[in-house]
């Protein structure tokens, strides 16, 4: 009977299996480190905007508060982006006729929102409520970095699950609230840890969705 496999068949099979394992592990490792890289989370990468906006000029130079443009930050899930009407409060008179500001006038005339390009990437399977974090005294710079010093806005940190969980665990450890409700986090502890206050943080209560007794490390706090 003719031999189906040669003398080296077993050796080749073992080498092939080993190669498949090595490739699989390599792909997994590449994916693991890729999703934890700055480039994946757009850290330090400024995106082109329909209207050039210099945060440093407006924040440090003109002393504007974050909440003036991001009106939803203190009470809503999304912080919101400035509308044309918001910008034209000043720019209907200041720098009027400058080509770079033409999208503001077009947006106002057509009643359409300005197509700002977000510099923060956040996964769809997680949720973040700006209002609840502001109410707890978390400074904007904790997640966004020192935006007020940026001439071109970019992401400052990787908003991974590790980043969020570490912050939640630190908050509970420092307030002695481990395992207790989300609402058990006094703003003063956050302010002391982060070193700077958030606008309108004092006297605010978390939204109803964060007053149901869940622990800060409960999966459902961040995941639907």
pLDDT at residue number 7? 72
**C-alpha gyration radius of the chain:** 25
Residues of the chain with pLDDT under 50: 178-204, 208-209
Structure tokens at 115: 């197509």
Q: Which residue, 131, 145, 143, is CA-closest to 200?
A: 131
Take residue 18 and report the two structure tokens written for it: 């080993």
* pLDDT, position 176: 64
| pLDDT at site 173 | 83
Angle CA(136)–CA(137)–CA(139) in degrees, nearest 5?
A: 130
HSE-CB for 169 with a 13 A CA cutoff: 7
- 101 CB-side CA count, 13 A: 17
> Where are the chain's structural domains?
55-81+116-221
């Amino acid at each position: 009977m003719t031999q189906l496999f040669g003398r080296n068949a077993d050796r080749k099979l073992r080498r092939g299996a080993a190669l498949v394992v090595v490739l699989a592990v390599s792909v997994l490792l590449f994916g693991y480190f890729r999703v934890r890289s700055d480039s994946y989370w757009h850290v330090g990468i400024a995106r082109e905007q329909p209207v050039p906006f210099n945060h440093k000029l407006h924040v440090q130079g003109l002393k504007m508060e974050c909440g003036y443009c991001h009106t939803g930050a203190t009470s809503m899930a999304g912080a919101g982006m400035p509308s044309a009407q918001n910008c034209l409060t000043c720019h209907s008179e200041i720098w009027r006729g400058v080509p770079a500001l033409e999208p503001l006038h077009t947006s106002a005339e057509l009643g359409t929102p300005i197509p700002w390009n977000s510099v923060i990437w956040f996964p769809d399977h997680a949720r973040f409520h700006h209002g609840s974090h502001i109410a707890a005294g978390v400074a904007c710079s904790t997640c966004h970095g020192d935006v007020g010093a940026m001439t071109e806005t970019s992401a400052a940190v990787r908003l991974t699950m590790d980043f969020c969980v570490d912050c939640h665990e630190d908050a509970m450890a420092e307030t002695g609230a481990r395992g207790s409700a989300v609402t058990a986090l006094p703003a003063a502890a956050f302010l002391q840890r982060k070193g700077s206050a958030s606008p309108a943080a004092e006297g605010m209560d978390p939204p109803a969705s964060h007053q149901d007794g869940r622990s800060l490390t409960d999966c459902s706090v961040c995941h639907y």
